[in-house]
Chains A and B, each alone.
Chain A
Amino acid sequence: MWTKPTFSDEISNEMYATGARSLNCCIQCATCSSACPVVDFMDHTPRRLIGMINAGLRDEVLASNTFWMCASCYACSDHCPKGIKPSELMYVLKRYSIWKNRYREDLVGPEFSRRFVRTIAKTGKSYEPGYAPAFIFEGGLQGMVREMRMGMKLLAKGRIPLIPSRVKRVENFRRMLSRIVPLEGIA
């Protein structure tokens, strides 16, 4: 008889593709937490988050900022004595929260990721001024002045081109991506 997969099952299934060992292997040693350079800014440490997933605490996990704080430096995965790859888990949780459209509203990461993906899907190349301005306003007027000051300095040094570069065969490029994921959803 088919039973609905639990939250822990869903995360385990996603993790399977990464080649990591099962989260059930976690011995809660906190090597991941101590290797993490961003841990001070997470509401739950990576060790604790793994425990929460194993305990099936879906709402608490999705309400956490932990995985959106991950900068993908892989220090945790390199040091984990059980081969769990917590950095891959952070990616999995980011994708899961975007898929379910459930994440903390004060986080910039999800919308930034979406904008980035959209920009590349349109032009094939990244151009910072194309997606950065929306986030300048995070810091209010002060933040805007600060970012503009930096932008002007970089511009003066010739480090920001005025015209974004793009892929030449951009139509082929877009059709290529849409063979993987329908582009209507993202760009």
Chain B
Amino acid sequence: MKRYAYYPGCSAETVSASYHLSAVETATKLGIEFQEIEDWNCCGATPYSNIDELLAQTLCARNLAIAERDHLDVVAPCSACFKNLFHTNEHLKTDADLAEHLNFALEEDDLHYTGSVAVHHLIHVFVQDVGIEAIEGAVKHPLTGLKVAPYYGCQLVRPDRHDGFDAAGPRYFEDLLAAIGADPLPYPYRVRCCGASLMIANRRAALSMVRDLLRGAVQAGADVIATTCPLCQLNLECYQADVNREFGTAYAIPVLYFTQLMGLALGIRPKQLGIGTELVPAKAVLDCVARKPAVTAAPKRAKARQP
């Protein structure tokens, strides 16, 4: 069983508790153990870099140092946390002056970082460490017929990391969805930004960005949008009613975390995956799971049992 230092991120304790739940449930099912980073702190999101870049990197360095103390690589489910932790880690590994400077600050919490850990996004751990084939093999209820828009978002794939998981035509989300029996759709907006914290700073701009993403998914014929980031989920789902009010549209498309879809396919109960806390009900998804055995799998099994 592979162990990771798990960095939940602040939204795991608030709006994206369901991501946290489903991440832990699916990982456990697939033989991955998460040890929450002891006394972790905020990654700084984007506002810290708006004010002071060194301060922003100090926040990340503390989390990395605590993970290093436990000799574990870091996994973050949130794309923004992942991006911040990943790039701070790269800077600390390559810039000795920066490392010395930040280590001076870390002394205040009896910490020191030497740069020995790796930082991963949750979806990369599933795709790389568990593997698409192993996931396919663990599926109990394939999500047959469920049309999913795979929404990577922006910070999962950017800026360039040259790790094979960045923006140069990623396929792994589609592969993962196909492995759990779902039908990944060609979604032209899959790596386009959701507006992130512009929802607070400039609501009209953010709502129009979300409108484009929703329209693209509906036009593609999606039953559900799958996300890899709490902020994407919040903007696409919770602000859907606001988009409808602002633009006179009538979108009602559920937006679930990829871990929730995986969890359902692995046979985990919806409630354990935090399903039921959505503002746009995930009915299409639950219907698919419910009718699954009856429609395709059952007749086959019935035949096999006959003799």
Contacts and interface: CB of A to CB of B under 8 A. Distances in A.
Chains A and B come from one and the same complex:
yes
Given A158-B17, A169-B39, A176 B58 contact: yes
B55 interface: yes
A159 B14 CA distance: 5
A146 B242 contact: yes
Interface string B157-173: 01110000001000000
A32 B72 CA distance: 38
Interface string B64-106: 0000000000000000000000000000000000000110111
A4 interface: no
Contacts of B198: 38, 69, 71
Given A38-B209, A139-B203, A78 B58 contact: no
Contacts of B54: 180-181
B50 A73 contact: no
Contacts of A124: 41-42
B268 interface: no
B6 to A, nearest CB: 16
B13 A165 contact: yes
Given A157-B277, A157-B279, A127 B14 contact: yes
A176 B57 CA distance: 12
Interface residues of A, number: 61
B95 to A, nearest CB: 10
Contacts of B196: 71-73
Contacts of B50: 91, 94-95, 98, 109-110, 113
A27 interface: no
Interface stretch (A43-51, A52-60, A114-122): A114-122
B121 to A, nearest CB: 15
B201 interface: yes
A160 B15 contact: yes
B15 A154 contact: yes
A97 B203 CA distance: 22
Q: Is the interface of A mostly helix, strand, loop or mixed?
A: helix
A59 to B, nearest CB: 21
Interface residues of B, number: 65
Interface string B267-294: 0000000000111000000000000000
Contact of A37 (B16, B42, B47, B193): B193
Nearest to A179: B105
Nearest to B98: A17
Given A167-B39, A175-B108, A132 B200 contact: yes
A153 B278 CA distance: 10
Nearest to B158: A74
A10 interface: no
Nearest to A131: B200
B108 A172 contact: yes
Interface string A128-151: 100010010011000000100010
Contacts of A107: 201
Given A95-B52, A126-B42, A159 B17 contact: yes
Nearest to A35: B192
A78 B239 CA distance: 28
B133 interface: no
Interface in B172-216: 191-193, 195-198, 200-206, 208-209, 212
For the complex of A and B, list the 9 residue pairs with the smallest distance between their C-beta atoms, beginning with the closest.
A73-B193, A73-B154, A116-B47, A126-B10, A74-B158, A113-B47, A179-B105, A172-B109, A113-B50
Interface of B: 10-11, 13-17, 39-42, 44-55, 58-59, 62, 101-102, 104-110, 154-155, 158-160, 167, 191-193, 195-198, 200-206, 208-209, 212, 238-239, 241-242, 277-279
